[in-house]
Amino acid sequence: MGRGSLISSVVGGAVCIPRKLTPSQKRLLHWLDDSKKLTPTLRAELSEGIHSFCWTGIGEASIEEIQALNIHYASLLCLYRALEQLCHKAGLTLVNNDLRVIMDGRATIPDLPADMQTAIVKGDGSSAAIAAASVIAKHHRDMAIQRLAEHYPGYGWEVNMGYPTPAHLQGLETLGVTPLHRKTFKKVYQQLALPLNA
């Protein structure tokens, strides 16, 4: 989550849903959808529930890693880290013949064998595990951005989560670039080339 944001790290989630679920767990998962279509309140409730009965992992790639690798490869790196964390909690090794990884999009993780991965375009609409991973990643990142917004008022991060909304771009123009901005992103490096308040 946060690929198109202008600030902070990019976050990935990994979820393994148990085969046997209670009726209440099934009801909770019934609400899963593309995380961006869910309200923050519902995402928070779903995230708490998912963490309570599924194996989960959260991985991040830093601003520096985004700038060194580009957002595409940094996103795959954070997914790898999320899987590592999930496997650690579950007592598994990441390269395991029985492990099958499905993920949203077209790309797979370079450091994992190709035959253990399947990429599904718009996978969060067809896989509960992908949708659940998206929910926990977005909730995790949104909570982190909410805390960062308190230290950098004027950019509207508490609402836009660092995405390039008019309020955020206006903040960039009037307040300048913060240490949390991804300086290789076009709207940020364009601003760096201008004098403050230009």
User: Does residue 189 lie in a domain region?
Assistant: no
State residue 98's pLDDT score: 78
State residue 197's pLDDT score: 44
Distance in angstroms (rounded) separating the CA atoms of residues 40 and 53: 20
For 50, how many CA atoms within 13 A lie in the half-sphere containing its CB? 31
User: Does residue 69 lie in a domain region?
Assistant: yes
List the domain range (segments joined by +) for residue 111. Answer: 10-153
What is the number of structural domains in the chain?
1
State phi, psi for 8 to the nearest 5 degrees: 60, -170
The token pair that represents 80 in the structure block = 């790898």
Distance in angstroms (rounded) separating the CA atoms of residues 80 and 85: 9
CATH number, domain of 109, equals 3.30.420.10
The token pair that represents 115 in the structure block = 């035959």
State residue 198's pLDDT score: 38
Q: Is the pTM of this model over 0.85?
A: yes
From residue 96, give the alpha-carbon distance in Å to each of 22, 93, 112, 116, 128.
28, 6, 10, 9, 22
Rounded average pLDDT per 10-residue block, the chain, 198 residues: 95 96 94 87 96 98 96 97 95 82 94 92 92 96 97 97 96 95 93 62
User: Does residue 198 lie in a domain region?
Assistant: no
